[in-house]
Structure formats: structure tokens, C-alpha cells
Structure 1
């Protein structure tokens, strides 16, 4: 797992070739990469919201209780795992017109590794100052886009021009999925910060 993380950050072209050779299963991807990497933003957010609290431009920090933080963390974690699967299926659907269309399994694996920079950006949620977290999220999305641009042509067996088009579309849809995920988490966090309303809501 760690080797792929470092490789994707340091030499993505070489690492994509290594990943493609492995023909990894979805279960192996989740067990050795996604489950661990997705825990980074979840644990960081749990620490940040329960120990420090969110701050919005100098206002008083708002915290959630440990009990609410655990519940929200579990839901956040489940949403992230589901989002990786959704993006993988979107990639598979968009590749339907290419002769070397990869399998659904390969597309989910591709999506899992593409998300690595955004997982790492979640570290900044340990101290949840809103502008810092947004900046980290932007950097994560930009590098995710870079991994897409570098990996898509070889993954789908298409030209760089075709790869640019499909990776741009994938990134746009992926960002929309991310925004929906963040909206859901913020909504749940907001409800959880108001005297445990979230538990009566569900």
C-alpha cells in the first residue's frame, strides 16, 4: 500500500504501469488501500471536531461530543467507501465506446488509486480551520486531476487527446460527487453539533 502511495506522488507514470500489471481485485484494493487511506480524513475530522472544533473566520470554535463524533465518523467513512465505488462505475460507463474498455473491477481499482491525494489532504482536518481545509482540498483535487491525466491514456489504451477529454469529464463528475459527499458530511456534522439532533433525525 505505502509503495503505491509514494509512487503515485513521486513517479505516477511508472506507478500506473505497476498497478496495471497487478490486475488487482476490488476486495484487495479495499483491504490494502482504500480502507486505510479513507481512514485518514475520517480520523482527522474526528480529532478536529471533537478536540478543537470548527472555526469560521475567528468565531468561537464549535465542537461535537465524542459520542456524536463516532457516529458521524462511521457515516463519513461509509460515504467515502461508497464514493470510490461510484466513481469507478462512472469511469466504466464513460469508457463504453472504447475498444479496450477495462472491466468494472479495473475501473474501481483505478478510482481507488486516483483518490489518494484527496485522502492525504484529509490530514488537515485535524485542525479544522475552514480556509486551511479548503486549500488542502483544492490541492488534493488538482493532484488527483494530474494523476487522471497521466493515467487515463495508458489505462484505456487511448491517445493523450482522448485521455484529456475523458479525464476532464471524470474529474468534473468526481468533484461533483465529492461536493455531494462534503455537503452530506457538513449537514450531518451540523445536526450532530446541535444537542445530538442527528440521532433523533435518523
Structure 2
């Protein structure tokens, strides 16, 4: 199923557009794996190779600290995913969508699949390597969002474009807020101790 999400997302989106609840449930079964993949890869890469920020020596965390960071990463991903689903469902009423919650969960599972798989780049946690892997995945996810949302929710393309743009705005604000909160907590001394 995960391979189908990556190779033929269009067919899954068309199936979701036909309101196939069985298919929506089968797509949702991939969600735990997609949510666990980024923090797992980040933990493995961080412990084995350390984080590289350019050409300097890698920064290492202890295994216990890396597990804590990975669990917080998983929590942030879960919050981001489910808050986006609930926000999209709330917004959907404004744009004329009447799809049930499971369709939203399945749709955003399809949209997030390229980003989750691109997180395999976390196995070698070098900033530039991760950026090179994430940018094409982000473009792919955005394409799925903008093209798939009107079809799956049965709304006109103009409304779908506006709703997709509103969701992208929400995600950008959430990402910047997460960075600010993380930087504030680490500055206050609540972050892990880094060793070089």
C-alpha cells in the first residue's frame, strides 16, 4: 500500500473522490508508519553520524537524549498532522465540502507520504543533504495538495486552490512557530546537551 501511495497517488486520490470508504481506511493504515519514519531515521542518523551543519565537526547527542528528541519530533508530527486534518475539515464547510473525517485523514496521508519517505535523508543528518531531499518531496506534496483537494472534496477548482493556499499558510505559520518554540526552549536550557 505504501508503494502505491508513492508510485500512483493519482489513482488513490480518484478512489477517494468516489467516496470509497474501504480505500480510505486502507490508506489510513499507512499513517502510523509514515508518522514513525522521520523520527526513527533522525534518531538512527543522529546517534550514528551526528548532525552536520556545514563543514564543521558533527554534533552528537547521547542515545537517551536522541530518543527524547525523536519522541518530541513524533509528537510534533502527530500534532501537525491531526491539527491540519481538523482545520481542513473545519475550513471545508466554508468552501462547500461535505466529506467525512476519514476522507480528510486519508487525503492528508497521501499528501504527506512524499515528505515522510524523503525523511530517509535523516539517516545522514547533514543540513544540505536533507534540504536536497526535502525540496523535491515538498514540491510533490504541494502538487498533490493543490490538484487533489478539489477532486477529493468535490469542490470547484477555484475554491480548492483558495483552501489549499489557506492550509499552506497554516502549515508555514505552524512550522515557524515550532522553530521559535524550539529555539526558545533550548536557549532557556531545556534542550539536550550537545557534545562535539
For the Cα contact (< 8 Å) 1:53–1:64, is it kept in 2?
A: yes
Aligned residue in 2 for 1:158: 155
- Residue aligned with 1:128, SS: coil
- Residue aligned with 2:30, SS: helix
Aligned residue in 2 for 1:5: 5
Q: CA deviation at 1:147?
A: 0.4
Aligned residue in 1 for 2:68: 71
- Residue aligned with 2:78, SS: helix
Q: CA deviation at 1:123?
A: 0.6
For the Cα contact (< 8 Å) 2:52–2:125, is it kept in 1?
A: yes
CA–CA separation in structure 2 for the residues paired with 1:101 and 1:90: 14
Unpaired runs of at least 5, structure 2: none
Q: CA deviation at 1:152?
A: 0.8
For the Cα contact (< 8 Å) 1:55–1:130, is it kept in 2?
A: yes
Matching of residues 35-114 of structure 1 within 5 Å = 35-114=32-111
CA–CA separation in structure 1 for the residues paired with 2:2 and 2:84: 22
Q: Which moved more, 1:17-26 or 1:104-113?
A: 17-26
Instruction: Give yes or no for the alignment of 1:140 onto 2:137.
Output: yes
Matching of residues 118-137 of structure 1 within 5 Å = 118-137=115-134
Q: Larger RCO: Structure 1 or Structure 2 (Cα < 8 Å, ≥ 6 residues apart)?
A: 2
Aligned residue in 2 for 1:33: 30
Q: CA deviation at 1:129?
A: 0.8
When the two structures are superposed, what TM-score results if normalisation uses the length of structure 2? 0.82
Tell me: CA distance 1:149–1:93, structure 2 relative to 1, closer, same or farther (3 Å). Answer: same
How many equivalent pairs are there?
191
Q: CA deviation at 1:183?
A: 5.7
Q: CA deviation at 1:27?
A: 8.0
For the Cα contact (< 8 Å) 1:80–1:181, is it kept in 2?
A: no
Q: CA deviation at 1:104?
A: 3.3
Q: CA deviation at 1:181?
A: 4.4
In angstroms, what is the RMSD of aligned CA positions? 2.8
Q: CA deviation at 1:11?
A: 3.5
Aligned residue in 2 for 1:198: none
Q: CA deviation at 1:138?
A: 2.2
CA–CA separation in structure 1 for the residues paired with 2:79 and 2:10: 27
145, 149, 171: which is aligned to 2:146?
149
When the two structures are superposed, what TM-score results if normalisation uses the length of structure 1? 0.80
Aligned residue in 1 for 2:193: 193
Aligned residue in 1 for 2:21: 23
For the Cα contact (< 8 Å) 1:40–1:120, is it kept in 2?
A: yes
For the Cα contact (< 8 Å) 2:5–2:12, is it kept in 1?
A: no
